[in-house]
Amino acid sequence: MNKAKVNGLSSEKVTALREALGTLIDMNDLLDPGEDANQVRDTNLIIEFMREALSAYIPEPNPGRKNWEVECSDCGETPTVGDTGLCGPCCFVKEATRGGNRYT
């Protein structure tokens, strides 16, 4: 599957797909590979397909607004600023809050 935008997937659908993938992985871990070999194989194929679909998801452009779907490429915090891929502190290099705005 190429990395092009996956049409028709809203952020709600992507969230539901991620939750379903987690549930499927948990259920697959409960199967006995010796007794359920075919089911384990089939489930692993479905898991791989779901992971590919999620990796190809690119959120809609969001210029200048907070983007809660994408984590900061520098520190992993959300939200990010528009399409920069960086949170506010990392984007604007505010050292006091760079790497996350922690309240400690």
In the listed set 55, 74, 89, which residue is the last one of a domain according to the structure? 55
Q: The pTM is what?
A: 0.46
In a domain, 5, yes or no: no
The answer to whether residues 76 and 93 belong to one domain is yes
The answer to whether residues 65 and 104 belong to one domain is yes
At 71-92, the pLDDT tens digits run 888 888 888 887 777 887 877 7
pLDDT tier for residue 58 given thresholds of 50, 70 and 90: low
| pLDDT > 70 fraction of the chain, expressed in percent and rounded | 71
Range of the domain at 79: 61-104
Exposed/middle/buried for residue 80 (C-beta within 10 Å: 0-12, 13-18, 19+)? buried
Per-residue model confidence (pLDDT) at position 12: 76
In a domain, 15, yes or no: yes
In a domain, 2, yes or no: no
Q: Where are the beta strands (DSSP E) in 3-67?
A: 66-67
Nearest to 90 by CA among 16, 82, 81: 81
The pLDDT mean for the chain works out to 75
The answer to whether residues 70 and 48 belong to one domain is no
In a domain, 41, yes or no: yes
- Tell which wins on pLDDT, 79 or 3: 79
| Range from 9-18, 41-50, 66-75 that averages highest in pLDDT | 41-50
Domain count, the chain: 2
The rounded distance, in Å, linking the Cα atoms of 103 and 97 is: 10
The answer to whether residues 15 and 49 belong to one domain is yes
The rounded distance, in Å, linking the Cα atoms of 88 and 84 is: 10
